[in-house]
Amino acid sequence: MKLKISTPAQIIFEGAVSKVDLPTENGMISISAGHAPMVTSIKPGLISIRSEQAYMQPDSESFVSTSKWMAFLDGKIVRIVVSEATRNPDENTETLQQIKKSLEEKIAILKTTWSVEEIEKNIMKLEKISADIQLKEINNQ
């Protein structure tokens, strides 16, 4: 099965995979070859990839943290289009934790002003930063 993860700016991953786990609005779903065609929304979180790439051991696992967007499956190809995706966060864990804390404080303030759109936007950023922190911890092991 082929997988392509892209943002408007670049292709994050493209290659043959044996399995992909996606964070969706209804929980994690696992996709492998022959999966029924579908379109699903992706929520911020970690995508787990079991690759068949030559440079990786068969069935080795890698991760990509993503923001919210869409996944399109046709049984042979999985296309994931997101606004942001990260294979290895540039920031260190401490910086990511500071960004997370700042977003949590901003959301708390926004909740008092009833700005639903701003709250939702910042919650999505918070979920993406949380996924980046998880990814950084995975990559540092």
| Nearest alpha-carbon partner for 3 in 27, 25, 30, 24 | 30
Per-residue tokens: 105: 């404080």
Range in 36-40, 73-77, 126-130 with the lowest mean pLDDT: 73-77
| Predicted TM-score of the model (pTM) | 0.81
DSSP character at residue 26? T
pLDDT digits (tens, 9 = 90+) for 104-124: 998 888 888 877 888 888 898
Q: How far apart are CA 141 and CA 133, in angstroms?
A: 13
Helix (H, G, I), strand (E, B) or coil at 92: coil
Mean pLDDT of the 53-64 span: 68
Mean pLDDT of the chain: 87
